[in-house]
Chain A
Amino acid sequence: MGKIAIEFQNISKQYALGSIGTGTLSRDLNRWWARIRGKEDPYLRIGEENDRSKKAMGNLVWALKDINFHVEEGEVLGIIGKNGAGKSTLLKILSRVTSPTTGCIRARGRIASLLEVGTGFHPEMTGRENIYMNGSIMGMTKAEITRKLDEIVAFAGVEKYIDTPVKRYSSGMTVRLGFAIAAHLEPEILVVDEVLAVGDAEFQKKAIGKMQDVAKGEGRTVLFVSHNMAAVRSLCTKGICLENGTVVYQGTVHSAIDYYLKEKGTVRESKIIDHVGWTKNSLHIDSIEINGTECAFSVIQGGQTFLTVKIQGYSEEDMMYDVMLVLKSRAEVPYATYAPGHYYGSISHLSKGDFCIEKRIELPPVLSKGVLQVDLFIHHPMVEYYLKAVRCCWLECEGFQSGFGHALTQTSNGFIGLEDIKV
């Protein structure tokens, strides 16, 4: 067991709901009066959780509740959880932007956070001046910055513009410069919150490479928060999973991610059929299977070449139909479409009564890591829809070990057309 780098003890954070500006003077006085008499804070209620779906009991809420864990030196910890689970609050407390309501964090070495890059850039100052300014805000000394100046400038790719005021920079240049400074900090503990989403593809690759160097090569302790499971999986060694402000799981990164994906509440446990948004009155669906399961979440293993779709149900009338499938990124960018009806006009006939539609769809040979979101339709092309199920299923592609970024490479005509497997 290595030395402990950071230790979280009973960290909790409480927020007031609603407008803070009104009526707090009286509460402030109350609180102050209680403290003078040595009593407990009357507004610190115990035992309430941050469950946003329920109406809170008072108007105070715990964003974090009794967080206990420690990180060892050289460990790269991924912090995962739904939106609002308390990840950012935790990082904010760790980077001392705000203070915890109770509990205590102890750490060895300097902590630097990449919560947002380019903080404190002054538009009137030149790139060089801003590097010094920003670097010192992040806790570097002047000598350290001078030593690293060339490296930072080269990494950001702004050699030509270094003596131009930052207000003349393009937004991309500003962000790159900001990240470059942050990446060249040398703290013992680095806190990273979704900064990999800056810049163009080439810069992203560079940024991720740098992150990997920091994490693996230089042996520093890193806390990494991201919704990008692929990035978490490849960068981190350990993982913790937050839910409603409490730690629900901690362990190796793989098991934490598995836990998160399984426990991710409604979506991960739901069935595909639950996500069917609309069907024609005459059509009744009994079950939908995609990738061999009714579960809305499944995994496409590396090397898997096809995707199965199976729809069972009952129709009150004869109809002409076709199945359409759209594979999209999380950000709703369509990557690939399966729509033989549109491509070739191949429409099938469905007679009245029970039916079972089965399709085997060819997958592109090089699927890289990431999550694909699936839209499923049954329709008569250009005539009418029978079933619409937007975002009905999520497929996590395991991809190849080194792969990053987009799940499918786009072709020149927009996106890939998928075909039936010829038997």
Chain B
Amino acid sequence: MVQDEQKKWDIVIEPRSGLFRLDLEEVWRYRDLLVMYIRRDIVTFYKQTVLGPLWFVIQPLLTTVMFMFVFGGIAGISTDGLPQPLFYMAGLLCWNYFSECLSRCSDTFNANQNVFGKVYFPRLVVPLSIVISCMIKMGIQFGLFVLIYIYYLGNGYSLMVNGYAWLAPLLLLMLAGLGLGFGLLISSLTTKYRDLRFLITFGVQLWMYATPVIYPLSVMRQSHEQYMWLIVANPLTSIIETFKFGFLGVGTFSWFHLGYTLVFTVVVMLWGMMTFNRVQRSFMDVI
């Protein structure tokens, strides 16, 4: 009887929703909005620029050149015998995607408080759209990676693309999940404790150095054995190493580490979404 009564209502507004109610159906109902947000993200990125979408590739290209100069040239860090552009590009592709997801998701409430303060729609749409639009940018950058790859193949390098490259979609999803999960957590906490916003900007930078982006894991093992646990505990390590292993044939791969990252990702993502869902209901009173 009570159940019947409940069913007749389309909307029920209550003080506190269950911890595990993620309302993913509702997000699905608002999928058109998701598409709009993604489109807006990409289109407005290059409006009124001369080079337009080219900017998507210029940025990682220049960073790669910079890395070649500083880390490869001056510091002389090994790249496991790989051509430097390919090595740095592979690391940057993954890292940039993750860090962009993280820093932009973590600003969700802050950047959208105007819209959030006036209309209701599932707030999760915004961070999801960020993750997806960044994925599209990453796809374009991956195209650049492939071009460089083909160039080196043509010049007689023997690059060992292997079966593990098929893991790439999974790696991408894991990066997305980690970026989203951490981003949501931080974004929920920043509504109340603004300190985290300062932490995030340089925290992401520091994090990069704890991830094998500019150095191969093997180098770390040889020179700084005592810090290996930290690098291995970093969930991003195995993602980037697997990516390099699959496409370039060099690196460290272990199912165990990848499994650890997968579990880590799922936990962080669920935790992030739950926290986010709780905070979104009343963040307007706090922010």
- Which residues does A use to contact B, with CB under 8 Å? 15, 20-21, 24-25, 28, 92-111, 113, 115-116, 119-120, 122, 124-125, 129, 132-133, 136-142, 165
Contacts and interface: CB of A to CB of B under 8 A. Distances in A.
B4 interface: no
Given A98-B281, A129-B43, A119 B36 contact: no
Interface string B110-136: 000011111111000000000000000
Contacts of B12: 104-107
Contact of A124 (B48, B120, B121, B286): B48
A187 B268 CA distance: 37
A136 B34 CA distance: 9
A124 B281 CA distance: 30
A25 B194 CA distance: 12
A364 B9 CA distance: 53
B284 A124 contact: no
B119 A113 contact: yes
Contact of B119 (A101, A109, A138): A138
B116 A101 contact: no
A24 B189 CA distance: 13
Given A125-B40, A136-B30, A97 B192 contact: no
Chain A CB count within 10 A is highest, among B9, B119, B194, for B119
B32 A104 contact: no
A140 B281 CA distance: 22
B118 A125 contact: no
Nearest to A95: B120
B115 A97 contact: no
A109 B114 CA distance: 25
Given A124-B47, A125-B44, A133-B40, A139 B15 contact: no
Contact of B44 (A122, A140, A141): A122
B116 to A, nearest CB: 7
A110 B48 CA distance: 38
Contacts of B114: 119-120
A116 B281 contact: no
B51 interface: no
B282 interface: yes
B48 A119 contact: no
Chain B CB count within 10 A is highest, among A93, A102, A120, A141, for A120
B13 interface: yes
A136 B129 CA distance: 14
Given A99-B281, A101-B15, A24 B119 contact: no
Q: Which 10 A-B residue pairs are closest in the complex by CB-CB distance?
A: A96-B120, A136-B33, A105-B13, A99-B281, A106-B9, A107-B11, A142-B32, A124-B47, A120-B115, A119-B118
Contacts of A115: 118-119
15 contacts: A21-B192, A97-B117, A97-B119, A98-B281, A100-B15, A104-B15, A105-B13, A113-B120, A115-B118, A119-B114, A120-B119, A125-B47, A129-B39, A133-B36, A139-B121
Chain B CB count within 10 A is highest, among A28, A119, A137, A139, for A137
Given A103-B15, A104-B12, A20 B43 contact: no
B10 interface: yes
Interface in B1-33: 8-16, 30, 32-33
Interface in B177-229: 192-194
Contact of B10 (A110, A113, A142): A110
B119 A107 contact: no
Given A96-B120, A97-B118, 15 more contacts: A25-B193, A95-B119, A97-B120, A97-B284, A98-B285, A99-B14, A104-B15, A105-B12, A106-B13, A107-B11, A111-B120, A129-B39, A129-B40, A129-B43, A138-B119
A15 B9 contact: no
Interface residues of B, number: 37
Contacts of B192: 20-21, 24, 28
Nearest to B287: A20
A385 to B, nearest CB: 47
A107 B10 contact: yes
Contacts of A132: 36
B191 to A, nearest CB: 10
A93 B14 CA distance: 10
A15 B286 CA distance: 10
Chain A CB count within 10 A is highest, among B12, B15, B39, for B15
Nearest to B283: A98
Contact of A21 (B13, B47, B194, B282): B194
A133 B12 CA distance: 26
B15 A99 contact: yes
Nearest to B14: A104
Given A20-B286, A116-B118, A119-B118, A93 B13 contact: yes
Nearest to A101: B15
Contacts of A102: 15
Contacts of A111: 11, 120
Given A100-B13, A102-B15, A125 B43 contact: yes
Contacts of A165: 47
A176 to B, nearest CB: 18
Contact of B40 (A28, A119, A122): A122
Contacts of A97: 116-120, 284
Nearest to B282: A99
Contacts of A24: 192
A228 B30 CA distance: 35
A103 B12 CA distance: 11
Nearest to A14: B285
Nearest to A115: B118
Contacts of A137: 33, 115, 119, 121
B9 A107 contact: yes
Nearest to A119: B118
A116 B114 CA distance: 10
Nearest to A165: B47
Nearest to A141: B32
Nearest to B284: A98
Interface string B89-126: 00000000000000000000000001111111100000
B9 to A, nearest CB: 4
A122 B37 CA distance: 11
B11 A106 contact: yes
